[in-house]
Structure 1
Amino acid sequence: MGRIAKEVAGQTLCFIGFVGICICCGIPMWRVTTYIGANIVTGQIVWDGLWMNCVMQSTGQMQCKIQDSIMNLTQDLQVARALVIISILIGFMGMLLTFIGGQCSSCLKNESSMAKVLILGGILCIVAGVLLLIPVCWSAAYTISDYVSVTTIQTQKRELGASIYVGWGASAFLLFGGIILCTSCPPRENIYPQYPGMYPYQGPVYGHQYAPSTVYKPYHPPVAYTPAPRQYL
């Protein structure tokens, strides 16, 4: 798989995961319960969410109540509020950085800087996935333990809602997308940086014989001058 294909695949997975975080935060279906009393008219479906609780009657009427105080929530949902909001913010920053550092954008010209920005965006997406996975798993464990408890009234028992499954899927998309982005383009640094007036050291080359550019003659010492004898007539 080419570099651009891996970047597009990672960005697509991270975008799907980011949309999943928003859905998980918005819909009030972290816990769902369905119970029917002695009369069929008393059948109700109760949804518990981070921001509101909804009750749907068997007649089709729905009533929702916004959670005015965070203290009315259970401990797992209180933590989920904070972590999900932080996950949305970090995921948005990660998505923004992945588009800035991608090959398809022209925001950055240096290839090394683009790779570093893209890897940073992938790391932020991984962090967002982990932050979403913590409250989702905690809420699922709390719901299951409360359901199997013998002290819980039958009409108050809750089951896992759609937000839990959406949260698990969004976390998986963010984790896989972030990993793909982090491994798509590692930055390549120059081992010998070039500076003005400086050149990298070139070691000896073996196995090649180069002809010298200039042929040097052997050195001969100067000969002493001896004057020839004069001849007289």
Structure 2
Amino acid sequence: MPSSTMQMFAFILAVLGVVSATVATLLPNWKVSADVGSNIMTAISQMQGLWMDCTWYSTGVFSCSLKSSVLALPAYLQTARTTMVLSCMMATMGLCLAALGLKCTRWGGSYRSKGHTAISAGACFVIAGVLCLVPASWFTNEVITTFMDSKVPKSSKYEPGAAVYVAFVSAGFLLAAGVIFCLSCPGRRGGPLDSGSSHPDKPKQQKLRQEQPTRDQQKQQHREQQSQTEPLEQEQSHRENLHQEKLQADDRQQEKSVPDRLNLEKDKQYHSPSRTRNQDAKAVYCLHDYV
């Protein structure tokens, strides 16, 4: 499949072909009078085109007259008119399609649709080149046949003019551009997108396709690591919870044991052998004291 550079080159050739075909269609010098003999009348140059006949006098005067009657024209001239106009129209339509089918543009749809558009543009260019080549060849054949005919007087003999050569060159440009665009076959590349962005970038798509398996592998490895680390984390958290519960239980036991210790200390203080417990003053008095 041609690259973007080749497509741009073909597009430039197509533009040159369209301009050349249009110029050749309008030029009046498809055949020019041959300068033969030593007659004084050979100083006058006559030119005939598809639409008009022009005469250039030795005095510098240049005059042209349109071909008024279409049916009175010979068959090769009528064919040349029709085919050259059709060639210009087909080439112009091919240019419009080629602008949409270029890879370097951001319009024209997805990769596959741009490929089909480029093929259509190439077909238009090939048809336009053939339509331009046929009248140029036929016209040249008629001019050379008439020139080689000995029955035709020398004053009526013509040679192929510059417009014929321009038509041949434009046909070559159009055919070359058409062949290059026709090679833009989207089926040679696997996995194109039928719908999507206005201008898909192919290197980026290839890179994404290459990176996709590695990303999947990384995700799978990450999941496996998580599945391995989750039991360990749960066991560790369970141990921490048990340790905290044990600490809380110890704190509670310590809080309960503090009053017991105080009571024991008081008992020891009251029942020590060296010191007696203070008795209540009311308990000291006996009943006979009140009597």
Q: TM-score range by the shorter chain?
A: 0.7 to 0.9
Separation in 2, partners of 1:123, 1:39? 51
Q: Does 1:39 align with 2:29?
A: no
Matching residue of 2:243: none
* Moved segments of 4+, more than 3 Å: 34-40
Q: Is the CA contact (8 Å cut-off) linking 2:77 and 2:139 kept in structure 1? A: yes
Separation in 2, partners of 1:75, 1:117? 36
Separation in 2, partners of 1:90, 1:51? 20
Q: Per the alignment, do residues 101 and 167 of structure 1 end up closer, same or farther by CA in structure 2, a change over 3 Å counting?
A: same
Structure 1: which amino acid aligns with 2:45? I
CA offsets per residue over residues 195-217 of structure 1, 9 Å max, x none? xxxxxxxxxxxxxxxxxxxxxxx
With the length of structure 1 as denominator, give the TM-score of the two structures.
0.77
Matching residue of 1:95: 95
Separation in 2, partners of 1:22, 1:29? 14
CA RMSD between the two structures: 2.4
Instruction: Report the structure number with the largest CA radius of gyration.
Output: 2
Within 5 Å, give how 1:71-150 maps onto structure 2.
Answer: 71-150=71-150
CA offsets per residue over residues 10-50 of structure 1, 9 Å max, x none? 1011111111110110001111014476437x611111001
Separation in 2, partners of 1:38, 1:126? 46
Structure 1: segments with no counterpart, 5+ residues: 194-233
Matching residue of 1:196: none
Q: Is the CA contact (8 Å cut-off) linking 2:14 and 2:95 kept in structure 1? A: yes
Q: Is the CA contact (8 Å cut-off) linking 1:34 and 1:43 kept in structure 2? A: no
Separation in 2, partners of 1:2, 1:180? 7
| Partner-residue secondary structure (3-state), 1:159 | strand
| Partner-residue secondary structure (3-state), 1:70 | coil
Higher RCO (C-alpha under 8 Å, 6+ residues apart) = 1
Structure 2: segments with no counterpart, 5+ residues: 194-291
Question: Percentage identity across aligned positions?
Answer: 28
Matching residue of 1:187: 186
CA offsets per residue over residues 136-184 of structure 1, 9 Å max, x none? 100000000000001111111010111111111111111111111111x
Structure 1: which amino acid aligns with 2:62? M
CA offsets per residue over residues 43-82 of structure 1, 9 Å max, x none? 1111100100000011111110011111332221111001
Structure 2: which amino acid aligns with 1:39? I
| Partner-residue secondary structure (3-state), 1:65 | strand
* Deviating more after overlay: 155-164 vs 100-109: 100-109
Q: Per the alignment, do residues 64 and 86 of structure 1 end up closer, same or farther by CA in structure 2, a change over 3 Å counting?
A: same
Structure 2: which amino acid aligns with 1:186? C
Q: Per the alignment, do residues 129 and 2 of structure 1 end up closer, same or farther by CA in structure 2, a change over 3 Å counting?
A: closer
1:2, CA displacement in angstroms?
A: 6.2
Q: Is the CA contact (8 Å cut-off) linking 2:29 and 2:163 kept in structure 1? A: yes
Q: Is the CA contact (8 Å cut-off) linking 2:2 and 2:180 kept in structure 1? A: no
Matching residue of 2:198: none
Matching residue of 2:9: 9
| Partner-residue secondary structure (3-state), 1:164 | helix
| Partner-residue secondary structure (3-state), 2:186 | coil
Q: How many residues align?
A: 193
Q: Does 1:152 align with 2:152?
A: yes
The structure with the greater share of residues assigned to helix is 2
Q: Is the CA contact (8 Å cut-off) linking 1:37 and 1:43 kept in structure 2? A: no
Q: Per the alignment, do residues 130 and 38 of structure 1 end up closer, same or farther by CA in structure 2, a change over 3 Å counting?
A: closer
Separation in 2, partners of 1:17, 1:37? 40
Q: Is the CA contact (8 Å cut-off) linking 1:136 and 1:167 kept in structure 2? A: yes
With the length of structure 2 as denominator, give the TM-score of the two structures.
0.62
Q: Does 1:61 align with 2:38?
A: no
Structure 1: which amino acid aligns with 2:104? C
Q: Is the CA contact (8 Å cut-off) linking 1:34 and 1:44 kept in structure 2? A: no
* Deviating more after overlay: 97-106 vs 144-153: 97-106
* Deviating more after overlay: 63-72 vs 160-169: 63-72
Q: Is the CA contact (8 Å cut-off) linking 1:30 and 1:160 kept in structure 2? A: yes
